[in-house]
Amino acid sequence: MKILKRICLFIAVLFLPGLLASQTIIGEVKTDPGKEKYKINTVVYIENVDTHFDLPEENPVMNQKELQFLPKILPIVVGSTVDFLNSDDVLHNVFSPDSCVNKFNLGTWKKGEVRSVKYDKIECVSVLLCNVHPEMEAYVIVLQNPFFAITNEEGEFIIENVPPGVYNLKVWNEKLNAKVKQITVGEIEEVIVNFHLKR
Ligand SMILES: [Cu+2]
């Protein structure tokens, strides 16, 4: 029985990509020499996808822990509500000066408690700051769809389960920029895309 199960699983894995008709986009962001430290935490995302997708069941969380925001960069799908969790014994005062989030100021709240903000403007980039700790800084990036990834230290990224189509693939980086790339996602081969980040 065990072997039969394994064979079934093997067949399922072989045919799954075809059945789902989706593909993977993989690639790397590169920089000029000396700028490698900026490769990490680059958001790579598809500008627009005309298909149905659900919002994540759980709200994305922006933690305040050890006097830092975690994560530093939080890409979300438009319409998501972000929960701001205070994990510190001290009080923070989280705010965003950006008009696309109506310059919210959440005030202060105790350890273990959450205050929430709904983000409803696509491509809004909202910087998060703390009135109490000037060194605290993070970003929420509001995207049209869930087909995005954040690069690792090497600048590598993977976007999975992308439906076939022709798309604009964009990047957002705190310090640098890269040109938009038009890509075609088919049903068989993964798509490889590299970006060059510049000022
Ligand atoms: Cu703070």
Tell how far the Cα of 136 is from the centroid of ligand 1, in angstroms.
6
Same domain, 70 and 131: yes
CA of 139 to the centre of ligand 1 (A): 15
Range of the domain at 139: 54-144
Q: What average pLDDT is seen over the chain?
A: 92
Instruction: Tell me the pairing of strands 81-86 and 61-65.
Output: parallel
State the pLDDT at residue 53.
Answer: 87
Distances (CA, A) of 160 to 43, 117, 157, 170: 14, 27, 10, 16
Residue 164 lies in a domain: yes
What share of the chain has pLDDT > 70, as a percent?
90
Shared-domain flag, residues 117 and 189: no
75 and 130 fall within a common domain: yes
Quick check: is 197 in a domain?
Answer: yes
Query: What pLDDT is attached to residue 18?
Result: 46
Look up the CATH number of the domain holding residue 10. Answer: 2.60.40.1120
What integer pLDDT is reported at residue 5 of this predicted model? 58
Quick: pLDDT tens for 56-78: 899 999 999 999 999 999 999 99
pLDDT tens-digit readout, 1-33: 556 556 555 555 555 544 557 899 999 999 999
Q: Are residues 35 and 62 in the same domain?
A: no
Q: Give the tokens for residue 92.
A: 């923070």
Asked if 165 and 112 sit in the same domain, the reply is no
Question: Does the residue 190 lie in any domain?
Answer: yes
Residues 96 and 64 in one domain: yes
Q: How many Cα neighbours within 13 Å face the side chain of 117?
A: 23
The model's confidence at residue 189, banded by pLDDT at 50, 70 and 90, is confident
- When divided into structural domains, the chain yields a total of 2
pLDDT at 153 over 60: yes
Q: Tell me, yes or no, whether 26 and 106 share the same domain.
A: no
Residue 65 and residue 37 share a domain: no
Per-residue pLDDT, averaged over 170-175, amounts to 97
CB-neighbour burial class of residue 128 (10 A; exposed 0-12, middle 13-18, buried 19+)? buried
Asked if residue 97 and residue 31 are part of one domain, the reply reads no
Question: Given this model, what pLDDT does residue 17 score?
Answer: 46
How far is the centre of ligand 1, averaged over its atoms, from the C-alpha of 138 (Å)?
Answer: 12
Q: Which residues of 13-40 are buried (b: 16+ CB within 10 A; e: fewer)?
A: eeeeeeeeebbebbbbbbbeeeeeebbb
Residues 76, 4, single domain; the answer is no
User: Measured in angstroms, how far is the CA atom of residue 151 from the centroid of ligand 1?
Assistant: 26
E strand intervals along 58-190: 61-65, 68-70, 73-77, 81-86, 94-95, 114-118, 125-130, 137-143, 148-150, 156-162, 165-172, 181-185
Give 112 Cα–ligand 1 centroid separation in angstroms: 14
Q: Is residue 149 part of a domain?
A: no
Ligand 1 geometric centre to CA of 94 (Å): 7
Spacing, Cα 50 to ligand 1 middle (Å): 39
CA of 37 to the centre of ligand 1 (A): 25
Residue 99 covered by a domain = yes
pLDDT tens digits for range 78-94: 999 999 999 999 999 99
